[in-house]
Amino acid sequence: METLKWWQQAVFYQIYPRSFADGNGDGVGDFAGMIAKLDYLRELGIDAIWLSPHYPSPFLDCGYDISDYTAVAPEYGTLGDFRAFLQAAHARGIRVVIDVVLNHSSDQHPWFAESRASRSSPKRDWYIWHDGKDGGPPNNWASIFGGSAWEYDALTGQYYYHAFLKEQPDLNWRNPELRRAMWDAVRFWLDLGVDGLRLDAIATIFEHPNLPDHRLPKAPDQIMNANLLDQADYWQLLAFQLKQPGLHELMRELRALVDSYPGERVLVGEDEDVAFHGADDELHLVFNFPLLRAARLTPAHIRANQAARLGALPRGAWPCNTLGNHDAPRMWSRYGDGTHDDALARLHLALMLTLKGTPFLYYGEEIGMPDLRLAELGQLRDTSALSMYRLLTERQGVPHAQAQAEVLAMTRDSCRSPMQWSGEPNAGFSPAGVQTWLPINANYASGVNVAAQAEDAGSLLRFYQRLLRLRRAVPALVAGDYQALQPFSDAYLAFLRHDAATGQRCLVALNFSDEPQAVGSELGERQARLLFSSHARVEQQLALDALALAPFEIVIAEIG
């Protein structure tokens, strides 16, 4: 049987650089701060870091608008600091995967400055320029962040295309010179020793070359944010802007480049389409976003998701699960019920670490950080939310108070607040008196911080440490096949993980209800050795046909 790759066995931890640890006391996270916290991450028990963009950027889209693909943002440090971070992580056995944004650059990138200088610029075709039509844009395409996808440039009298903000012009991947330049940027970081790439917004890389109008009966100014549309309208709106021909060929080209490096470098895709695994010649991992897109995680939803997802994966492909990231509400807030939030947070971590596939965790989840609730527009740093506010007020006449409430409710700033390290001023993220780039959630002073939870044996942080150690020690939880049990219960989820290499079989039972549950085992009168319970259990041998779960209990047991 083939040995698993490192990225199939690893637990990933996403760091948002601006918000993780401030090493120089300026209110912004940086590499010095991250280096100082690597021992914490090793003790937590993670195996790899996914690092959100660390490049120079005007920060109009939270770092996803890049002005230099082969440098480090000055607020985060220097290229030397990045090397020191990478080396220090590797010295602790922690891999590092970086974000790569292939679809677009910042409008402040030197390439775009050259491109827009004149129609005859050698880099004109590195971006997507077209003449207008009937006194307006080339077509009715909308930006994903709202408004038209076209921006008029008075200097040259043409429009350029942007799938996201107007300050994020799309790169033209049909231009061979641009393609080579971007692959050179990828090689730059692989040569430095990064362990892989997480690809942002790959579905938008190509557009229909004939520029046909979409057929959704809405003008671009009526689109506040495409991500807020229902799925049918979303795909109709973006029918000619997403997943166009050429994309799979491009991913195969990138995979060949990455595979030419030693060390099993990994490609992780944001897009949820399992087709991007290809025939094991495109992406290695593709996020299972349908799992997290639920108002509430229920056993029925999870079972249906796993059946669909695992059944759809191409032969040889490996699953990848997450319940949070820099674009989604925090797990504590999204799936909590306001009463049993701590118990549910533990349940959801257990789910991530016991389902088949590579789990991705988000910084701050391990101490139960909730969404940050901002009070006023002036606190926003999320440009897409500010753009939505302008569209609501200027184009649709929505009153300020209503528009402000809408954007504060949906802003991605909510899940990007600074990490809460201690109960000291500024949560130990920055020195006292320093204004942090985003406000710090006030609950840091009431125990939602690393220092307090490290001293509490019953804390969520210590629970994360225990469960991460367990996963690493139990082969079936890493490599085992998945088999759903008890398919009709919506109170509890039960499934088997079976590792053919070791023969180990484990039962995972998760009670999603606030009431005790009798688990009618399909395994008959079998005995199992208790490996883990979130509740105090005296017995170490479990009779599976008589297994009962306490409210929100997690049970993991090895079947003899």
The residues assigned a catalytic role are 200, 264
> Regarding beta strands 12-15 and 358-362, do their DSSP bridges make them parallel or antiparallel, or are they unpaired?
parallel
Q: Strand, coil or helix: what is 150?
A: strand
Rounded to whole angstroms, the Cα distance separating 282 from 305 reads 23
Rounded to whole angstroms, the Cα distance separating 428 from 21 reads 9
Residue 182 sits at the vertex; the CA angle it makes with 181 and 183, to the nearest 5 degrees, is: 95
Q: How many CB atoms lie within 10 A of CB 37?
A: 19
φ/ψ (deg, to 5) at 11? -105, 120
236: left (phi over 0), alpha (psi -120 to 50) or beta: alpha
| Cα dihedral value 11, 12, 13, 17, nearest 10 | 160
Distance (Å) of CA 528 to CA 354, 462, 475, 518, 545: 17, 25, 16, 16, 10
Among residues 249, 248, 319, the alpha carbon closest in space to that of 289 is found at 319
The dihedral of CA 377, 383, 384, 387: what is its sign?
positive
Rounded to whole angstroms, the Cα distance separating 456 from 426 reads 21
- Placement of tokens 């969404």 in the chain: 371
Rounded to the nearest 10 degrees, the angle between the axes of helix 460-473 and helix 341-354 is 20
> Is the Cβ–Cβ distance between 538 and 545 less than 8 Å?
no
Rounded to whole angstroms, the Cα distance separating 252 from 345 reads 38
Rounded to whole angstroms, the Cα distance separating 220 from 516 reads 51
Rounded to whole angstroms, the Cα distance separating 282 from 251 reads 5
Q: Strand, coil or helix: what is 27?
A: coil
Q: Strand, coil or helix: what is 477?
A: helix
Q: Give Cα 117 distance to the centre of its chain.
A: 36
353, two tokens: 């670490």
Rounded to whole angstroms, the Cα distance separating 503 from 493 reads 23
Rounded to whole angstroms, the Cα distance separating 360 from 451 reads 23
Rounded to whole angstroms, the Cα distance separating 146 from 396 reads 12
Q: Strand, coil or helix: what is 504?
A: coil
Among residues 436, 399, 407, the alpha carbon closest in space to that of 419 is found at 436
In angstroms, the first-to-last Cα distance of the chain is 23
> Is the Cβ–Cβ distance between 347 and 510 less than 8 Å?
yes
